[in-house]
Amino acid sequence: MNSEQISIYDAAAVDRIRAEMKFEPRRLRALRTAFFKKFLGAEAAIAELPSEVREAFAARVQFHPLTIVEADDSEIDGATKLVARTAAGYLIETVIMRTGTGRVSLCLSSQVGCAAACQFCATGQMGVAKSLSATEILDQIVLANERLRAEQRQARNIVFMGMGEPFHNEAALYDAVSALLAPELFHHPSRYILVSTVGIPDAMVRCARRFLDINLALSLHSARQDVRERLIPLAAKFPLGDLRTAIAQVNQIQQNTVMIEYLMLASVNDSPQDACELAGWLAGLDVHVNLIPYNPIAGSPGLRSTERPERDAFAAILREAGFVTTIRYSLGADIAAACGQLVQSENRAIAKEQATAGAH
């Protein structure tokens, strides 16, 4: 965006441009429908305006803050990983997941890198933590859907589960969710939006209060404080007791069931004893447990996924205790869909370059 341009997401500024250019409000509404709801692309959206203002409007309004630099289609399942460059030069990943039933989910990034520094995650090991703007978050949805149009599909589930801890970028997250829900912009149904956190109790409660109908997921990965802290260094700041209280509060505020994400790691968190402790910790909460097989990353050679018999035994203990428990298969193992793997080294290099430039 050059310094004179404004963003298509800045509704008030775009309205002012319309007033200056003196074209009818309905033409701007048609542009927004084409761009945010039908995903026809910027050119087709601009074609909704009177011909005499199109060029001037296009020069003043920026539609895409991101540029796609790579798209990798999985050969074994329905995942596509999009890699996009931000204006600051960093790379982020967005994953399109197509299920056998024809539904499409989008996994969005909210940051470049992540300060949570989880042991099992390439993003956490990037050594960078920069927040994306709301428009950079939203542009991932537009760009992915523009691509899906060729298949006559649209993303139904919007999942904040890619690079970054969404609650470390809370203001932009809320702006993005508000835009997603806004009738004049995306008008996306709230029940198909999910925010996944590694566990920041106050923010979970704030988010539930602000958006009563969107879904929340907690990446728990262990009901033992010491194991959790080993896997997720950030967990040292947020004891399990506070997290449990937060889920209980979310259950009171929202009707929706809270998702509990649990990465299955062999000999780390997958024993029958772990399952019993988890069941005890969850007792009385309205939750749905998702057990997730682990996609290994180069930075953590010591971690491997739980074998199927142990995983099934773990699930059986939870089901026996009365919890709805599903096993989620990670899509895109062959394209490194686990967040951050593809762009880790390049982002490190960019951060280093920028730090060096700043030091001179």
> Contact residues for ligand SF4 (CB under 6 A)?
114, 116-118, 121, 123-124, 163-165, 198, 339
Residue with tokens 């995903």: 39
Q: How far apart are CA 340 and CA 295, in angstroms?
A: 12
Query: At 307, which amino acid appears?
Result: E
The b-or-e profile of 18-46 (16+ CB within 10 A means b, else e) is beebebeeeebeebbbbbbbebbbbeebb
The b-or-e profile of 296-311 (16+ CB within 10 A means b, else e) is ebebbeebebbeeebb
Q: How far apart are CA 265 and CA 161, in angstroms?
A: 19
First-last CA distance in the chain: 26
Specify the residue, 247 or 339, whose C-beta has the smaller distance to ligand SF4: 339
CB 219 within 8 A of CB 197: yes
Q: How far is the CB of 263 from ligand SF4 (least distance, A)?
A: 9
Q: How far apart are CA 207 and CA 203, in angstroms?
A: 6
Specify the residue, 8 or 177, whose C-beta has the smaller distance to ligand SF4: 177
Q: How far apart are CA 262 and CA 202, in angstroms?
A: 21
Q: How far is the CB of 144 from ligand SF4 (least distance, A)?
A: 19
Specify the residue, 182 or 227, whose C-beta has the smaller distance to ligand SF4: 227
Residue of closest CB approach to ligand SF4: 124
Q: How far is the CB of 344 from ligand SF4 (least distance, A)?
A: 11
Q: How far is the CB of 33 from ligand SF4 (least distance, A)?
A: 34
Q: How far is the CB of 143 from ligand SF4 (least distance, A)?
A: 20
Which residue numbers are catalytic? 93, 339
Q: How far apart are CA 322 and CA 346, in angstroms?
A: 45
What tokens appear for 31 in the block?
Answer: 């542009």
Specify the residue, 228 or 244, whose C-beta has the smaller distance to ligand SF4: 228
CB 337 within 8 A of CB 293: no
Q: How far is the CB of 278 from ligand SF4 (least distance, A)?
A: 19
CB 126 within 8 A of CB 180: no
Specify the residue, 204 or 279, whose C-beta has the smaller distance to ligand SF4: 204
Q: How far is the CB of 116 from ligand SF4 (least distance, A)?
A: 4
Q: How many CB atoms lie within 10 A of CB 6?
A: 15
Residue with tokens 């800045």: 10
Specify the residue, 139 or 165, whose C-beta has the smaller distance to ligand SF4: 165
Q: How far apart are CA 56 and CA 54, in angstroms?
A: 6
**CA pseudo-torsion sign 76, 78, 80, 81:** negative
Specify the residue, 163 or 289, whose C-beta has the smaller distance to ligand SF4: 163
Q: How far apart are CA 139 and CA 64, in angstroms?
A: 6
In total, the chain counts a number of residues equal to: 360
